[in-house]
Every structure is written in C-alpha cells, then in structure tokens.
Amino acid sequence: MKEKETYEKRLKLIVQNLPERPGCYQYLDEQGVVIYVGKAKNLKRRVSSYFIKESQTRKTKILVSRIADIKYVVVETEWDAFLLENNLIKQHKPRYNILLKDDKTYPSICITDEEFPRVFKTRKIIRNGSEYYGPYSHMGTLNGMLEIVSHAYKIRTCRLPLTEKNIKSGKFKECLQYHIKRCPAPCIGLVTADEYNVQIREIREILKGNSKELTRNMLQKMKDLSAEMRFEEAQALKLRYDTITEFSEKSRVVDIGLDNVDVYSIDNDEDVIFVNYLHVSDGCINQAFTFEYKRKMDETLEEMLMMAVVEMRNRYHSTAREIIVPFMPETEFEGVTWTVPQRGEKKKLLDLSALNVKQYRADRLKRSDKLNPEQKQLRLMRSLGKTLGMEKTPLRIECFDISHISGTDAVAACVVYENGKPSRKDYRLYNIKSGAGGDDYGSMYEVLTRRWRRALEETGPLPDLVIVDGGKGQMSIAKEVAENLGIKINIAGLVKNSRHKTEGLLYGFPQSQVGIKPDGELFRLLEQMQEEVHRVAITFHKKKRSKKLIKTELTEIKGIGEKTAELLIKRFKSVKRVAEANIEELTETVGKAKGKIIFDWFQNESSNTKSI
C-alpha cells in the first residue's frame, strides 16, 4: 500500500512538471517495461487527462493502475510527435497500444539487387539490397503491374547467377524465353548490363506511378529515332509506349489533373479498426492497401487515422501534399492539406476508398466465420461482456417477457441463449398464478422468483446475464428478486422506441444506456433476442386464449366439462369439426352417453339456425 502511494506521489509530481509542448510520452510498469506510448500536441494536458478519475473509462483505469513511471520526449511539431510515436511503438511493442496486423500475407513486387535484375511477385521480404513495391492487398492491381512489365519489357525470369565472369566463361545457354522473344538473353552476352538496366529503370518509374513522365520521354525518343532513320528501334519503342499508355488509360479512375494525392477511409468493428489507403498519380491508383489495427485503449477514430497516415507515408515514401480524408482532423502537418470532398472527382476517390474498406471488413468477417462458425457468436458474447464491463463472458443469457391483454390470460416466456445461439430445449413458459394480471412488475417478480428458486433447488445453471424486455422498472424488479434469493446476477434491460423497435440496452444501477452501434452485429443479436422472447410469449398467450375460447364454447353444453372438451379438441382439432362429427365418432372419443349429448346439442343448434 505504501509502495502504491509512493508511486502515486511520484507520478503526480512528474505530471505537474510536464512541459506544455508537442512530444511523446511513455508509461512504464514496475519492471521498467514500456506498456504504452502516446503522442500529444500538449504533453501536460494530454497526460493529465489520464489521471482525472471522473473521466476514466474501464480500460484507462486498468492502464493507470499499472503505471509506475513516465518518460517523455519533446519535439518541435505534432508531425514529429506522430513519427516518433510510430517508431517507439515498433521498437517497444507496448502491451496497451493498438496493434497493426502483420502484412506478411500480402504480396509485393520485388526487383532484385543483381547485375541483371529480375522482377517478380513475392510474399517474403528479404533485406539483401533488393527493392520491394507494395504490399498490395488487391491482387488485381499487382497482377496489372506485372502484366504491363511482361508485355512492355524483355527481362529474364530465370534464377541463373548472371555475372560478367560467368557469362564470359560460356557456362549458360539461351532458353525458350529468348526464342519466343521474351528475354534478350543476357546469359549468352546478347545484351549488356547497362542496356538491360535501362528497362529496369523504366519499370521502377511505372511501379512508382510516374508513367506520365516516362511516356513523355518515350515519345520524344521515338521522334528522335525516326529522324535518324532508325525505324526498327522506333517501332519497338512504340510498342512499349502503346502498352504503357493503354494500361494507364485503363487504370485511370479520375481526371489526369489529380496527381500525387493520398486517400484514406476508416471503419471500425468493436475493437478492430480498418483503414484503406490509396495513392493517386496522374489520375491513376498506383498504390492500394487495406489493413487493420487492434484497438487496445480508447483511441478515437482520428487518432487511429493519424497513426495510419504516418504508417503509410513511411512505408510507401509518399510525398503527397494533399490528403483526402472522410472527416477534418484537428492535427496539422506542415506542407500537407487535408481535404474532405463533398462532390466531384475527389469525392469519387473517397467513395472508392470507403467501398474498399467496407469490403475488406466484410470479407475478413466472412473468412473468420467460415473457418470457425462458433467464433462469430463467441466474439459477439465477448464484445457484449466487454461493453458491459463484466468480468465473465456472458455465455448463458436468459431473456424474459410478459404478455397479456388488459390483464387477462397473463403469461410469461423465458428464452435461453447459449454461446449466442437459441437453446430451445431450455425455453420455459409460465402461467401467471399470483393474479397480478395487468401488473407487469408483479408478474415479472413472480416469474423470476419461480425460475431462479427452482434453479437453486435443483442446482441448475444460473444465467451469466439476464435481459428483461422492459426498462428501468423491470430491471429493478429483477434486482430485488436476486437480492431476496441471495444470488448475484448481471441484469440488463432492452428498451423499445415508439414504433416498438429495439432502441438500446440498459445496464447497471443506476441504469444507463450502453453505447452499442445501431448497425452493428451485436445490436442485431440483441434485437433478435428481444424479438424471439416476444414471439414466444405472444404465441403462448394466443394459444392460451384460443384454448379458453374453445373450452368455453364446448363447456356450455350441459354435462360436458373441461377434460371432455380437451379430448374432443385433441381428436377433432376444432369446434366446427366436432359439430360435423357423426354419433359413432363422438361415442368412440368420449363414450356413448356424452357422445349422444354432444351430437343432440349440435343437431338442435343446427335446426334452430335453419328455422331462423
């Protein structure tokens, strides 16, 4: 306890003396391990906010409880703080920082570091001097790049160790690629390293997205060759020029005037953030990558977006002076203009980026659910538990609803969900016995008492979470029942809007509405639970009313009671069919005496109807 007080005093002193300047801060635990790295426009204001207890979230409380020391670095600008934060996270891999999903599964284009370089697709990054372009999350873009390279240039595909010494020694022989005119055969000395690398330099420009300057130079060179009467060389260059131009036209998605522009869109699913990045050059998208972050603390979408911008500009060496984003960030980067387009070509790019990030998110969830069908439901249950701040994942959920009409024929239903799926064998239906009738609170009190008391007596499973179909009042009743029985149960309440649609989830005492995304999977699951318990309760109530009406009509016959009426309905299914039955069928069902009474009653009723 004394040690904790010592830490608190030390941290308070550090925070009080922090400078009000841009910089990065690091939180360390008792072992001196960096557990969190952050950046700030104002170090003192940002770090102080973590220690204001009134505004602390559950995650922040956990982080603060583990801080034993604070280190910080002052920088000149907020952009420098972003860069430093990015590097420190990669260096320390702090436990509570967002995690960028490993992109090893995405392929890149490699240009090898050799006298006669090769160009190919790879998923392995080997730091041996080779150049890598990518990674590409969209295979169409990557294959398009390789297609233009193979059509416009003659480069080798073999793995022979082509050095000047090996070539001169005559160790190699030309292959089929040379004979079909796809390789200039450097292996037998038909092209020099300088001549060969002219092609490689042009390929680099294409992969960088600089095809505009490249084709301009090609066009001028064609004219020069034609003027010198070197028509064969000019024709070969023209074929290459046409291939590159055609590909550029196909790749162009917006006006050619849009050049050297970055585009970002962002989406989130609970604790996972998805970001799409596009780089536009000469109206063409020459870089496209979608990736995901794992949110560890309560980072805002803006913070995640800024981290993504830094990550992508470092990775792709982007020098774009204009960045198109879905919302205007507060952060200012020197020499960079933020644009939030509302219409036109730039809006078209932003929409395309948003479409990519939504598709990536949908595909990721589909793949995950396909590999493990149970994983989706477990993920949703974990998400619900985290959202409510529960210590245990709510694997067993019980939902309750009351149904009646003006207090008559009151019934209740209990619907059980195990691991996020309906467990119909555990459903239970209740006739309200206490005479509470239209008193929903009294009916809920009776049903919950009966349900949980029996579970205790039979040592049956108690739910991890109870959801009542009602507001604060129903939750208070559930809490009262639990306290009377001496059990501890997490209680939530589903509330509906004026159109009787699920509006939100209440939790805690005092009750407050939990922030759940209305169009998210978790909200849809809760909506499904509410509709299911309501359906079961209504169906039971209708059945009870129907039976009551049928029994009333048959029991009006003198000498016929409820048991006889039930036998008749069980056999004939409806009162109409009972009325149409012959004497033999009725006798077979309820005996000779009662059969005759029923037959005569309906015959008399029929005669009376006809005479009228």
Beta bridge partners of 279: 262, 287
Phi and psi angles of residue 515, each rounded to the nearest 5 degrees, phi first: -80, 100
Rounded CA-CA distance 37/99 in Å is 12
Rounded CA-CA distance 579/609 in Å is 13
User: What pLDDT does residue 268 have?
Assistant: 82
What's the longest Cα–Cα distance across the chain? 123
Least confidently predicted of 5-19, 129-143, 313-327, 385-399? 129-143
Least confidently predicted of 161-170, 244-253, 306-315, 527-536? 244-253
DSSP code at position 85: H
Residues 219-226 have a mean pLDDT of 82
Please enumerate in sequence order all residues whose Cβ is within 8 A of that of 351, keeping only pairs 6 or more positions apart, or say none: none
**CATH superfamily of domain region 2-97:** GIY-YIG endonuclease (3.40.1440.10)
Q: In the numeric block, which tokens belong to residue 299? A: 């980072």
Residue 116 has pLDDT above 90, yes or no: yes
Paired sense of beta strands 408-418 and 322-324, if any = unpaired
- pLDDT: which is higher, 374 or 310: 310
User: What pLDDT does residue 598 have?
Assistant: 78
Q: How confident is the model at residue 88 (pLDDT cuts 50, 70, 90)?
A: confident
The pLDDT > 90 percentage for the chain reads 7
Q: Are residues 452 and 479 in contact, defined by beta-carbon separation less than 8 angstroms?
A: no
Q: Are residues 451 and 432 in contact, defined by beta-carbon separation less than 8 angstroms?
A: no
Which residue has tokens 């602390």?
56
In CATH, what class is 556-611?
mainly alpha
Residue 108 has pLDDT above 90, yes or no: no
H/E/C letters for each residue in 468-499? ECCCHHHHHHHHHHHHHHCCCCEEEEEEECCC
Residues 478-494 have a mean pLDDT of 88
The CATH fold assigned to 261-369 is Nucleotidyltransferase; domain 5 (3.30.420)
| CATH 3.40.1440.10 domain extents, the chain | 2-97
Q: What is the pLDDT of residues 43-72, one digit of tens each?
A: 888 888 888 877 777 778 888 888 888 888
Q: What is the pLDDT of residues 228-252, one digit of tens each?
A: 888 887 887 787 777 766 665 544 4
Rounded CA-CA distance 552/590 in Å is 18
Residue 289 has pLDDT above 60, yes or no: yes
What is the overall mean pLDDT for the chain?
Answer: 79
The pLDDT > 70 percentage for the chain reads 84
Paired sense of beta strands 261-269 and 322-324, if any = parallel
Rounded CA-CA distance 580/592 in Å is 17
Chain centroid to Cα 574, Å, comes to 51
Residue 551 has pLDDT above 70, yes or no: no
| CATH 3.30.420.340 domain extents, the chain | 382-533
Beta bridge partners of 120: 110
Residue 87 has pLDDT above 50, yes or no: yes
- pLDDT: which is higher, 118 or 515: 118
Buried b (16+ CB within 10 A) or exposed e, 11-30: beebbeebeeebbbbbbbee
Residues 5-12 have a mean pLDDT of 74
- pLDDT: which is higher, 324 or 601: 324
The CATH fold assigned to 382-533 is Nucleotidyltransferase; domain 5 (3.30.420)
Q: What is the pLDDT of residues 443-466, one digit of tens each?
A: 888 888 888 888 888 877 888 998
DSSP code at position 31: T
Rounded CA-CA distance 216/108 in Å is 27
Q: What is the pLDDT of residues 406-439, one digit of tens each?
A: 556 677 888 889 888 888 888 888 887 765 555 7
Chain centroid to Cα 373, Å, comes to 16
Residue 103 has pLDDT above 50, yes or no: no
Residues 487-491 have a mean pLDDT of 88
**Is 440 strand, coil or helix?**
helix
Instruction: Give the Å distances, CA to CA, from 431 to 60, 410, 419, 436, 446.
Output: 47, 7, 28, 11, 10
Q: How confident is the model at residue 612 (pLDDT cuts 50, 70, 90)?
A: very low
Q: How confident is the model at residue 576 (pLDDT cuts 50, 70, 90)?
A: confident
Residues 193-207 have a mean pLDDT of 86
Rounded CA-CA distance 189/89 in Å is 49
Rounded CA-CA distance 264/288 in Å is 10
| CATH 1.10.150.20 domain extents, the chain | 556-611
Residues 344-364 have a mean pLDDT of 82
Rounded CA-CA distance 359/103 in Å is 18
- pLDDT: which is higher, 163 or 145: 163
Rounded CA-CA distance 148/140 in Å is 12
Rounded CA-CA distance 86/96 in Å is 14
Which residue has tokens 């150049």?
131
Residue 611 has pLDDT above 50, yes or no: no
